[in-house]
């Protein structure tokens, strides 16, 4: 599987299928990425992004899925704790400690709860935490799904910062950790190199820092 980090929280998994998580690029567009399946962690605009314009099969929590369907998007609804297989790709929805409203929708349209995903494709298991604070049930995510790769926010203020994400990484136990949701804007500034050094000094986990647009081949 090839993993491409598009910046912020946006990740493309390319294998048997092309799966695009949180289709938002600051100052850019995801419309050329041609995903088969889109996954949306929560309703904030820096995660919903261009989900409506993409108009692909979109995995999301019930409330966001209902909104997407109202816009003509073929949503695949699910909820936290459940697993749903779409075209051979398995999505397990995990909790996230955050908030969620569909920022592009009129006031009063419910956004449901924020979420993360464990996605399994071609024998590789990837955890994308979405926007979240640290919570100890991340241990369960590790015990249940044994992710190979974990995408964790480190930007602070709206999510975990590097100190919390270090503990999250140890709870989850994925051998490869890829930091996300930082340095998109000044208000989520973080130093991924310091984060990498701190984890690698104290654990056998490894941090791959990907610049926006950079890819990582699993097994490499």
**Site residues for Ni ion per CB under 5 A:** 44, 131
- Which one, 4 or 159, has the nearer CB to Ni ion? 159
End-to-end CA distance of the chain: 10
Which residue in the block uniquely carries the two structure tokens 């820096």? 46
Least distance (Å) between residue 205 CB and Ni ion: 25
Report H helices in 85-212. 138-145, 162-172, 192-202
Which one of Mn ion, Ni ion, none interacts with residue 63, CB within 5 to 8 A by kind? none
Contacts of 177 (CB under 8 A, 6+ apart): 149, 150, 152, 165, 169, 199, 205, 206, 207, 208
Give Cα separations from 111 to 44, 55, 147, 209 (angstroms).
Answer: 9, 19, 27, 31
- Which one, 63 or 131, has the nearer CB to Ni ion? 131
Least distance (Å) between residue 100 CB and Ni ion: 7
- Which one, 18 or 44, has the nearer CB to Ni ion? 44
Least distance (Å) between residue 131 CB and Ni ion: 4
Rg (CA), the chain: 16
Which residues of the shown chain bind Mn ion in the complex (CB under 5 A)? Answer: 46, 131
Contacts of 219 (CB under 8 A, 6+ apart): none
- Which one, 89 or 154, has the nearer CB to Mn ion? 154
Least distance (Å) between residue 168 CB and Ni ion: 16
Give the H or E element holding residue 6: strand 2-7
Query: 128, 151 in Cβ contact below 8 A?
Result: yes
Query: 48, 24 in Cβ contact below 8 A?
Result: yes
Least distance (Å) between residue 192 CB and Mn ion: 17
- Which one, 18 or 184, has the nearer CB to Ni ion? 184
């Amino acid at each position: 599987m090839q993993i491409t980090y598009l910046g912020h929280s946006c990740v493309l998994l390319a294998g048997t299928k092309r799966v695009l998580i949180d289709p938002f690029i600051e100052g850019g567009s995801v419309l050329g990425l041609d995903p088969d399946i889109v996954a949306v962690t929560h309703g904030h605009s820096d995660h919903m992004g261009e989900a409506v314009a993409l108009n692909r099969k979109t995995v999301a929590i019930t409330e966001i899925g209902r909104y997407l369907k109202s816009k003509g998007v073929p949503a695949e609804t699910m909820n936290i704790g459940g697993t749903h297989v779409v075209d051979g790709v398995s999505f397990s929805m995990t909790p996230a400690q955050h908030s969620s409203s569909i920022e592009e929708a009129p006031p009063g349209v419910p956004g449901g709860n924020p979420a993360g995903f464990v996605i399994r494709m071609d024998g590789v298991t990837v955890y994308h935490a979405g926007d979240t604070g640290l919570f100890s049930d991340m241990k369960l995510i590790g015990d249940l799904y044994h992710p190979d790769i974990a995408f964790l926010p480190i930007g602070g203020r709206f999510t975990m910062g590097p100190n919390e994400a270090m503990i999250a990484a140890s709870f989850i136990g994925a051998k490869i950790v890829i930091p996300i949701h930082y340095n998109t804007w000044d208000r989520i500034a973080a130093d991924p190199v310091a984060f990498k050094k701190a984890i690698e000094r104290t654990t056998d986990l490894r941090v791959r820092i990907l610049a926006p647009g950079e890819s990582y081949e699993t097994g490499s």
